[in-house]
Amino acid sequence: MRRVTGIVGATGAVGQEFLQVLAERRFPVGELRLFASPRSAGQRVAFEGQEHEVEPLDERRLGECQVAFFSAGASVSKEWAPRAAARGAVVVDNSSAFRLDPEVPLVVPEVNPDAIPARAGVIIANPNCTTILLAVVLEPIRKLAGLERVVVATYQAASGAGAQAMQELEDQTRALLAGQPEPAPRKLPQPIAFNLFPQVDVFLPDAGDFTKEEMKVVWETRKIMGLPDLKVVSTCVRVPVRRAHSEAVFLELERDVTVDAVRAALGVAPGVEVVDDPATARYPTPRQADGRDPVLVGRLRRDPTVERGLCLFLAGDQLRKGAALNAVQIAEHVVRRG
């Protein structure tokens, strides 16, 4: 069988990262088909030394892909992913369209690889970036000590809102430093240069005025970890950082364990790198995580204000493990089985 791999949304920030990660990991791409909106169709994109022309979405061309990565927003996924899957493609969808659909698995390969179906013609959802980074770190702690409650405050990079938001951060910062009028926010809801704001995605009045991002962290963490009653609460904040998300996490565990035991469990966990040495001021930072695969975790310490409390801080590349890398890892499981 001739292998064909598709990328929908090839010209976006995540789409570009897909190409990077596929090349680095020597994914068996076969024939590469790049799709985008009619606006971007016709653009040429390089992959492994070859130019590829971006084509408009087409059901037959999409359906011929063994694996089709989607990262063009929820409305494109809703329309095109079922059509691609109906023709036999395995769709790995980076949008939020199907994440909470009970028929669609939501996968972080370090956490629930067994949820990946062994058959073709399916949609597999790639979780929200903040949630992926959190789940990778929570899973080894859950195995060790169980989880009762998870409190998260996030520090989310501009990349999470796409390439245009990254440009907005740069343009606004440049203008402020030059003492020039700052370009108005277009992609983000507030100015981001030397600023931050507690709004990621829209507000959900029916969910107690949490934002959609905050509820994604709740709903998706529960689904990925198979813990439908896990207590999760978050405040999600956009910060003037380029492409790695950070999270301050306060946990309540089910069983009493030492901080050293947690550190040891994280030290051998897949996808995690412990960066935790107060004596030499080593801890995760987004610039350290930038462009790297593992989720960095540190600042591990007992929370003395609650029984079995644990504090930690993590940072991970939003475009890699938070999006493209996780999706490619899912696809690797698929092609290994297929």
Footprint on this chain of a second copy (rule: CB under 8 A) = 149, 151, 153, 155, 169-170, 173-174, 177, 189-191, 194-199, 203, 205, 208-210, 231-233, 235, 237, 239-242, 246, 248, 250, 278-279, 281, 283-287, 298-306, 309, 311, 313
Beta carbon nearer to a second copy, 103 or 206: 206
At a CB cut-off of 8 Å and minimum separation 6, what does 119 contact? none
Can you read off the two tokens belonging to residue 109? 């390969």
Rounded-to-integer distance, Cα 127 and Cα 317, Å: 14
CA dihedral 298, 274, 159, 75 (to 10 degrees): -110
**Residues 176, 183: Cα–Cα separation, whole Å:** 9
- Which C-beta is closer to a second copy: that of 36 or that of 289? 289
Known catalytic residue: 129?
yes
The residue annotated as part of the active site, out of 52, 65, 236, 245, is 245
Q: Indicate the residue among 62 and 151 with the shorter CB distance to a second copy.
A: 151
For a second copy, give the closer residue by CB, 74 or 311. 311
Catalytic residue list contains 52: no
CA distance 225 to 19: 28
Q: CB of residue 215 vs a second copy: minimum separation in angstroms?
A: 11
Compare residues 80 and 313 and give the one whose CB is closer to a second copy: 313
Residues 160/74/320/273 CA torsion (nearest 10 deg): 80
Residue type, 238: R
Name which of 4 and 150 has its Cβ closer to a second copy.
Answer: 150
Closer residue to a second copy (CB): 25 or 242: 242
Q: Which two tokens stand for residue 300?
A: 């591990």
Query: CB of 207: closest distance to a second copy in angstroms?
Result: 9
Shortest gap between Cβ of 164 and a second copy (angstroms)? 17
Taking the complex as a whole, the smallest distance from the CB of residue 107 to a second copy amounts, in Å, to: 25
Whole-angstrom CA distances from 300 to 247, 258, 309 are 13, 10, 11
Phi, psi dihedrals of residue 192, rounded to the nearest 5°: -110, -15
Determine the Cα–Cα distance for residues 48 and 30; give it in Å rounded to an integer: 12
Burial of 152 (0-12, 13-18, 19+ CB in 10 A): buried
Of residues 129, 236, 311, 333, which has the active-site annotation? 129
Q: How far is the CB of 261 from a second copy (least distance, A)?
A: 15
Structure tokens, 309: 């409390």
Q: Are the beta carbons of 157 and 129 closer than 8 angstroms?
A: no
CB 141 → a second copy: shortest distance, Å?
A: 16
39: which 2 tokens? 């606006």
| Inter-CA distances, 8 with 34, 41, 77, 100, 106, Å | 6, 11, 9, 21, 19
Report, as residue numbers or ranges, the catalytic residues.
129, 245
